[in-house]
Structures are given as C-alpha cells and as structure tokens.
Amino acid sequence: MFFVYFCIMAIGKTRLDEFLKRGKLLKELDMWYKSFNEATKEQMISWLQSQLTDKGTDGRGVVIGNYSYATEIISKGRKQQGDHFTLNDTGDFYRSMQVYIGDSLFEINADGKKEEDNLYEKYGEYITTLDQENIERLRQLIRPKFIEYVRKVLLID
C-alpha cells in the first residue's frame, strides 16, 4: 500500500504531471480565434477575390456564369462572350468583403446589393465561400498558428 501511495505522490511531481496539467489549459476556441488575425483575414479575402476573378467560381467550384454576345456588344468588348463573371464591375462588392469568425467557423460576407439586384439571390449563397483549393491553403496557413499556440501553452520549446 505504501508503495502505491509513494508512486502516486512521485508521479504527481514529475515533468509529465506538469505537462498534463498544462494540457488542461488548451482551449480549442482560443486556438481558433488566435489563428485568424487581420493578416489571415486579408489573405482569405484576397484568395476569394482571385477565385472569382481568375476562375469565376463559387465555393463549390461552380462557374457562376458567362458573358453573352449581347454583353460583349453592350460593354464595347470589355466583357468578352464566354468569359466568366467576376462580380467586380464597380469594385463595391469586393471592397465590402469582410471575414467574421465564430465558434469553430468563419464566414466571408459582402454587400450583395447591386442596383435592383442582389448578387446572393442571383448567383447563390456560395459566392463568398472559399473553394476546396483555398480551404486547403487556409489550413496550411493556420496550422502553424495552432501548433504555436499549443507549444506556448504547454511550454514546449
């Protein structure tokens, strides 16, 4: 019995015990919020804008639309028939983009009102959603921040 008591007391004073105590201080929400600093948010918006500009796709990878020949004529060739929509006619939509961080989720929102149209109603709710390629880029971006948080809390150096 004494041996068991001695072992329990000895374990309570080891480096492993201290490590386990600090492990209880890890908070997933803290990791999440600290990973999304302003630079990360700006990068996310940049990726979304590139996704729309370069590929014309929503978060599901679906092309949101292509210009018609009539649009090419009306725009005097600025918008070519068959080119994908970018949703960047005036720049207002892109300038209004903001990232909101919630408990274990993020959302990119923008003002979708354009004259009488609502871009979300017209092109779908996924127009401000990152596609799988950009989600993977985001994972790669925030992974080191998660690791840094864990190392800091656990005092690992």
pTM: 0.79
How high is the pLDDT of residue 13?
A: 65
Q: At what angle do helices 28-35 and 132-154 cross, to 10 degrees?
A: 120
Helix (H) or strand (E) holding 93: helix 92-95
Q: How does pLDDT run across 66-116, given as a tens digit for each residue?
A: 999 998 899 898 989 999 999 998 899 999 999 998 877 889 999 999 877
pLDDT recorded at residue 89 = 85
Question: SS3 letters for 112-153?
Answer: CEECCEEHHHHHCHHHHCCCHHHHHHHHHHHHHHHHHHHHHH
pLDDT of residue 4: 45
